[in-house]
Amino acid sequence: MTHYDVIVIGSGPAGQKAAIKCATVGRKVAVIDDREVVGGRCLHIGTIPSKTLRAAIIYLSGYYERKLYGEQYRVKQEITVEDLLFRATAIIRREIEVIQGQLRAIGVDVYNGRATFADPHSLSVVASSGVTQLSGDYIIICTGSASKVQVKLPFDGVRVMNTDDIMSLKYLPAKLMIIGGSVIGMEYASMFALLDMEVLLVSPYEKLLPFVDHQLIEALTAFMTRHGVKFYMCDDVAEIKIAGPRRVTGKLKSGTPFDVGQVLYAAPRWGNTAELNLAAAGLAPLVKGYLKVNQVYQTDVPHIYAAGDVIGFPSLASTSIDQGRKAANHLLGVKDVPYAPIFPYGIYTFPDMSMVGASEEQLKLEGQPYEVGIGRYYESARGQIIGDEDGLVKLLFDPRDRKLLGVHIIGSEATELIHIGQSVLIHGGLIDFFLDTVFNYPTLAEVYKIAAFNGFSKLPASLPAEHL
C-alpha cells in the first residue's frame, strides 16, 4: 500500500487547486480520477464543453453581424454538429495537456480509477487494470456532482439525451425539446435557438431561475421567444417514444402533443458520492448526496475535507477553485484570508447574465431601502458597434447614502463586466464611483456610468455639483 501525505479524489477545479497547493509546498500528493484523463466533469461534460459550444454557435451563426449585414448572414451557411464539436474538442484536449503538465511538473501522482473508502485513511482505486490500495494522512473529496435522472425516458444517447451526453451529439435537429428549466436547460435552449431551431422548453416550475433578478429574466425570455423558443411552464412529459431515426413524439401532461427531432434532458444534479463507500470513512451524505463541511471545509471526520460541487451551493467552478485552495491551506496550517461572501454568478445563456450582491427581492424581504439605476447597451457607442440592443446594467443602491447594494447585468460580456461592480461592492463603494471613473471609450463599461446617472436622476436631492 502506497502512503501519501494528501490524497485528492477528483481532478476538477477544486481537486486540481487543492493538489497543486499541497504539492507546491512539498507534500507527497496523489490525485484519483475515475476518467482516463484529468479535468473532471467541468472539463469533459459540463462548464467547458457547454461554454465552448456557445462560443462556436455565436460565431458561426454570425448573430451580432446580422444587424448590419441582414438576417440571412451566417459565417457558415450550413452549420453541422462537427463544426460545433471541433472547437470544444480542441479546447478540451489543450486543457487536459495543461492540467497534466501542471500536476506532473510538481510531482503529483495521478491514479485513474474509481475511488472507494476502505477505512478513514485508506482508499481502493478500482480500474480495468486492477485494484490499487492507497493511504493518506489527509483526504480531500472533490468528486463534484452528477446528473440524477429521475424520470423514465427512452434514453439512447442520440435522439433522447442527457445534457451530460452533449459531446456525443450526432446531429442538429430542426426542432428540439429541452426538459428542465434549470440553468443548463436555459443555456442550451438559448444557444441552440441561434441556429434557427424551434426549441420547446418544458419546465415543471412556475418561474424560470427564480434566484435571478426579475428584469433580467423578463429580458432573457423575451429575447428567446423572439428567436423561436416556446415555453411550457408547470408542465412535464407524460408520454414519449422514439418514432424514427430523427424523430421523437409524445404528449405533455397538459395534453399538448409534440413531434421533435431530438429531446435533451437537463437532469438535476446531486453530489457525486454514491460510489465512495462513505460509511467506511465514518461519513454520511446529506440530502441529494452532498457532504456537510465547516467553514474550513472539514467534514465530520477532521482529516477528511470536501470542496467544490460535492458540498452543494453555490456549485460554481469559480468558487470551487477557491474552496479547494482553502481546504488545502487549512490542512497545511497555512493562514488564509476569510471566505469572501461577495462573489459573482455567471449564467451563460444567450445573452449571458451575471449578478453580484443583493437582488430586489432580497432587499424587499430585508426591508432595506433601495433605488434602481439602469443603463442600456444601445445607449453606448460600443453597444451599437457590436449590435447588442438587448443588454442592460442594473444597479441597486441605498438612496440615503448612495452605497452600492447589487449589480445585475444581461448582455454581451456580462460575465466579464460584473467584476467592476463586484470590486466596488467588496470595498463598500458608492454609485458615485461610476461617475467619477474614466472608462475606455467606446466600451461596454461605460454603461455603468449611464446606469449611475439614471439612478441619480431618481433621487429627491439634486445631483452633487462635482457630478454635474
Q: Among 243, 200, 190, which residue's Cα sits nearest to residue 353?
A: 190
> Alpha-carbon distance 343 to 144, whole Å?
20
Cis peptide upstream of residue 341 (ω within 30 degrees of 0)? no
What pLDDT was estimated at residue 66?
78
Strand segments, DSSP code E, in 17-172 are 29-33, 109-112, 114-119, 122-127, 130-141, 145-147, 160-162
Q: What 3-state DSSP class applies to 383?
A: helix
What pLDDT was estimated at residue 462?
61
* Same domain as 274, residue 257: no
What pLDDT was estimated at residue 73?
78
CATH number at residue 194: 3.50.50.60
Are 7 and 136 spatial neighbours (Cβ–Cβ below 8 Å)?
yes
451: CB partners within 8 A, 6+ apart: 373, 374, 375, 392, 393, 394, 395, 434
> Alpha-carbon distance 227 to 205, whole Å?
22
Asked if residue 69 belongs to a domain, the reply is yes
- Other residues' Cβ atoms within 10 Å of the Cβ of residue 14: 36
Residues in the chain: 468
* Same domain as 115, residue 31: yes
> Alpha-carbon distance 363 to 9, whole Å?
40
Beta strands 262-265 and 160-162: pairing type? parallel
Asked if residue 248 belongs to a domain, the reply is yes
What pLDDT was estimated at residue 433?
97
Alpha-carbon torsion (412, 418, 420, 424), positive or negative: positive
> Alpha-carbon distance 192 to 176, whole Å?
9
* Same domain as 91, residue 226: no
* Same domain as 64, residue 45: yes
Which one of 267, 295, 318 terminates a domain?
Answer: 267
Q: Among 102, 10, 1, which residue's Cα sits nearest to residue 309?
A: 10
* Same domain as 365, residue 444: yes
* Same domain as 128, residue 275: yes
Asked if residue 154 belongs to a domain, the reply is no
> Alpha-carbon distance 212 to 408, whole Å?
9
Q: Which residues share a beta bridge with 8?
A: 31, 140
Asked if residue 261 belongs to a domain, the reply is yes
* Same domain as 133, residue 107: yes
> Alpha-carbon distance 377 to 456, whole Å?
18
Are 118 and 133 spatial neighbours (Cβ–Cβ below 8 Å)?
yes
What pLDDT was estimated at residue 87?
85
> Alpha-carbon distance 114 to 128, whole Å?
10
Q: What 3-state DSSP class applies to 215?
A: helix
What pLDDT was estimated at residue 76?
77
Alpha-carbon torsion (424, 429, 434, 439), positive or negative: negative
Name residue, grid cell 507546491: 24
> Alpha-carbon distance 240 to 146, whole Å?
24
Which one of 279, 303, 332 terminates a domain?
Answer: 332
* Same domain as 394, residue 247: no
Strand segments, DSSP code E, in 282-384 are 304-306, 345-347, 353-357, 371-376
What pLDDT was estimated at residue 142?
97
Are 268 and 238 spatial neighbours (Cβ–Cβ below 8 Å)?
no
What pLDDT was estimated at residue 468?
56
Asked if residue 467 belongs to a domain, the reply is no
pTM: 0.91
Asked if residue 346 belongs to a domain, the reply is no
> Over its length of 468 residues, how does the chain's per-residue pLDDT go in tens digits?
899 999 999 999 999 999 999 999 999 999 999 887 777 777 677 788 889 999 999 988 888 777 777 777 777 778 899 998 888 888 888 888 888 888 999 999 999 999 999 999 999 999 988 999 999 999 999 999 988 877 789 999 999 999 888 888 999 999 999 999 899 999 999 999 999 999 999 999 999 999 999 999 999 999 999 999 999 999 999 999 999 999 999 999 999 999 999 999 998 889 999 999 999 999 999 999 999 999 999 999 999 999 999 999 999 999 999 999 999 999 999 988 776 678 999 999 999 999 999 999 999 999 999 999 999 999 999 999 988 888 999 999 999 999 999 999 999 999 999 999 999 999 999 999 999 999 999 999 999 999 999 999 999 876 666 655
Amino acid 98 reads V
Q: Which residues share a beta bridge with 124?
A: 116, 133
CA 229 to chain CA centroid, Å, is 21
Element (H, E) at 89: helix 81-105
Domains contained in the chain, number: 3
Q: Is 187 left (phi over 0), alpha (psi -120 to 50) or beta?
A: alpha
Asked if residue 341 belongs to a domain, the reply is no
What pLDDT was estimated at residue 387?
85
* Same domain as 320, residue 236: no
CA 125 to chain CA centroid, Å, is 29
* Same domain as 130, residue 31: yes
CATH number at residue 440: 3.30.390.30
What pLDDT was estimated at residue 72?
77
Cell numbers placing 319: 468558487
What pLDDT was estimated at residue 414?
97
What pLDDT was estimated at residue 99?
87
* Same domain as 296, residue 211: no
> Alpha-carbon distance 96 to 93, whole Å?
5
Q: Which residues share a beta bridge with 138?
A: 6
Asked if residue 337 belongs to a domain, the reply is no
Owning domain of residue 110:
2-147+270-332
What pLDDT was estimated at residue 88?
85
Name residue, grid cell 428567446: 224
* Same domain as 283, residue 185: no
Q: What 3-state DSSP class applies to 17?
A: helix
Which one of 219, 235, 267 terminates a domain?
Answer: 267
